Amino acid sequence: MAFDAYNCSLALLRALQPLVRRLAGHDPKLADQLRRAATSTVLNVAEANRRVDRDRKNRFRIALGSAAESAACLDVAVILGYLVDADVAEHLELADRVRAMTYKLATK
């Protein structure tokens, strides 16, 4: 059975990989932070989907925070001049979609 939040978090991680590689040439620590945050999103969504009650909601909250961190890394990369808005626009939209899903799952 497909789980949209998981599939979207995977799509975000997959889409970010070229940007992670580009960022690594400018700022390896920021690239690593972005990679870890996006990976954490996927892993916590997957884990939350197999949990119940408050534990489930907590994992979705963690995934939400990690998705927000991924978006923040992209914002920082643009501000520091490593990437431009056009490079990250679609990625930020996907991150927003993941955040909306995980927020709803964390608060229902």
If DSSP states are collapsed to H, E and C, what string results for the chain?
CCCHHHHHHHHHHHHHHHHHHHHHHHCHHHHHHHHHHHHHHHHHHHHHCCCCHHHHHHHHHHHHHHHHHHHHHHHHHHHCCCCCHHHHHHHHHHHHHHHHHHHHHHHC
Topology at the third CATH level for domain 4-107: de novo design (two linked rop proteins) (1.20.1440)
Q: So what's the pLDDT on residue 85? A: 97
Q: So what's the pLDDT on residue 2? A: 60
Q: How confident is the model at residue 100 (pLDDT cuts 50, 70, 90)?
A: very high
* Domain spans in the chain, listed from the N-terminal domain onward: 4-107
Please write the tens of the pLDDT for every residue from 6-42: 999 999 999 999 999 999 999 999 999 999 999 999 9
Please write the tens of the pLDDT for every residue from 47-84: 998 887 888 999 999 999 999 999 999 999 999 999 99
